[in-house]
């Protein structure tokens, strides 16, 4: 970004068009490329690199409620995948990096990877609109080739994320071993050094975050990541001590193939689901999922463990939840969200399987949720 590009900032010719006809103007800071996306807001004050590189944000425009984004730059330690994953970025003000860990600029990376971004946006008004009306489809027009009316129509005609299999778009193309040289797994002060690997886990990749893989390695697991459409027989051929159902983007109900795989794995190997993996485990147990009005995209959601009454402050990123009224007697609800009482954790009574809706691998400041990886380790050892 050129901080002296006053003309672009003053004229605000680039804009976001929403399906309800609303227009939010700003100036382009990313790639010179128009794009559709589902508009969501994230209330986190930090962690924009992790958020934008999280595959769960595929198909979405991320609106940051924090007014300044870019001041910590980008670095090689904080990536959650190999590249930026969001369809676009919406912010109030873009700042240049001023941090001892910075190794690159956010706006330069947006341009390099072909992702549009809009600064100068009234993000407060946009967030209020999304809270009132719910998540909306949008279209980012930064090239100047479309009128507002044309952009609104493109937003309305876009397929959106409902009933869409985005997991197959972001999954790995082939199976791989995570970090065999131990070069990508930072201890972040959790251990003097990485423990030896004495258990084997397979991660079913629906859009997995690297922090999940790091935490599994920190628990002494040897981690193999496999594509989303890997069959149960292929997974069991690795002879794993456990299987992780990863996070991922879009609508869980569209992943019929994954639900079939999970049902075939139940009872044969311990299962641990996170976010989308939680929803898929619920579907595999014949439950239903439904869309939230504007989703959970934040780093400060209080979640209660119903067994211990302990409250964890958690990081969350999802638009869909498991409907508690759809669950049968074979499923126990283990955690609830104290903001809206939605389901945040499940345990299968008839098989070694459990899942959480929040992100226990994230470190938004509190590390309250990290011990659940050790619970999974204990479950694998007990089998």
Catalytic residues: 275, 359, 361
* Residue 224 CB coordination number (10 Å): 16
| Residue 104 per-residue DSSP state | B
In the three-class reduction of DSSP (H, G, I as helix; E, B as strand; rest coil), residue 326 is classed as helix
Q: Report in angstroms the alpha-carbon separations of 370 from 134, 167, 214.
A: 31, 25, 12
**Cβ of 12: how many Cβ atoms within 10 Å?**
16
Contacts of 339 (CB under 8 A, 6+ apart): 301, 302
Per-residue tokens: 199:
């258990």
> Using CA atoms, how far apart are residues 258 and 280, in angstroms rounded to an integer?
7
**Residue 329 buriedness (CB in 10 A; 0-12 / 13-18 / 19+):** exposed
* Tokens 């001590």, residue located: 241
- Identify the three-state secondary structure at position 93: strand
Cβ atoms of residues 297 and 43 within 8 Å: yes
Residue 126 phi/psi, 5-degree rounding, is -65, -45
Contacts of 166 (CB under 8 A, 6+ apart): 58, 59, 207, 248, 249, 250, 251
DSSP states of 238-307 as a string?
T--SEEEE---SS-GGG-HHHHHHHHHHTTTS-EEEETHHHHHHHHHTT--EEEEEEEEEEEEEEEEETT
Indicate the helix (H) or strand (E) that contains 373: helix 372-382
């Amino acid at each position: 970004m050129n901080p002296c590009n006053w003309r672009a900032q003053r004229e605000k010719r680039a804009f976001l068009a929403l399906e309800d006809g609303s227009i939010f103007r700003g100036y382009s800071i990313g790639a010179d490329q128009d794009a559709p996306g589902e508009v969501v807001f994230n209330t986190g004050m930090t962690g924009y690199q992790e958020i934008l590189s999280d595959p769960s944000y595929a198909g979405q425009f991320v609106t940051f409620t924090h007014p300044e984004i870019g001041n910590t730059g980008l670095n090689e330690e904080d990536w959650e995948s190999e590249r930026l994953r969001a369809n676009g970025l919406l912010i109030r003000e873009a700042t240049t990096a001023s941090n001892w860990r910075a190794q690159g600029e956010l706006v330069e990376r947006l341009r390099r990877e072909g992702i549009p971004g809009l600064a100068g946006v009234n993000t407060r008004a946009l967030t209020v609109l999304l809270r009132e009306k719910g998540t909306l489809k949008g279209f980012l027009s930064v090239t100047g080739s479309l009128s507002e009316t044309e952009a609104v129509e493109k937003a309305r005609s876009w397929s959106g994320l409902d009933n869409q299999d985005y997991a197959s778009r972001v999954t790995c193309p082939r199976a791989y071993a995570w970090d065999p040289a131990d070069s990508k797994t930072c201890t972040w002060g959790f251990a003097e050094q990485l423990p030896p690997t004495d258990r084997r886990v397979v991660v079913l990749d629906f859009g997995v975050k690297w922090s999940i893989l790091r935490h599994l390695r920190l628990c002494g697991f040897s981690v193999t990541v496999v594509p989303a459409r890997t069959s149960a027989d292929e997974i069991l051929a690795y002879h794993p001590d456990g299987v992780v159902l990863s996070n991922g983007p879009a609508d869980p109900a569209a992943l019929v193939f994954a639900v079939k795989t999970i049902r075939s794995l139940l009872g044969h190997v311990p299962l641990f689901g996170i976010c989308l993996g939680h929803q898929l485990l619920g579907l595999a147990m014949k439950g239903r999922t439904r869309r939230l009005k504007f989703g959970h995209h934040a780093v400060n959601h209080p979640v209660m463990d119903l067994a211990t009454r302990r409250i964890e402050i958690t990081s969350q990123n999802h638009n869909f939840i498991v409907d508690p009224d759809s669950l049968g007697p074979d499923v126990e609800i283990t955690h609830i969200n104290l903001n809206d009482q939605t389901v945040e954790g499940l345990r299968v009574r008839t098989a070694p399987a459990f899942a959480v809706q929040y992100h226990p691998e994230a470190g938004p400041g509190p590390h309250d949720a990290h011990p659940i990886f050790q619970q999974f380790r204990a479950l694998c050892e007990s089998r």
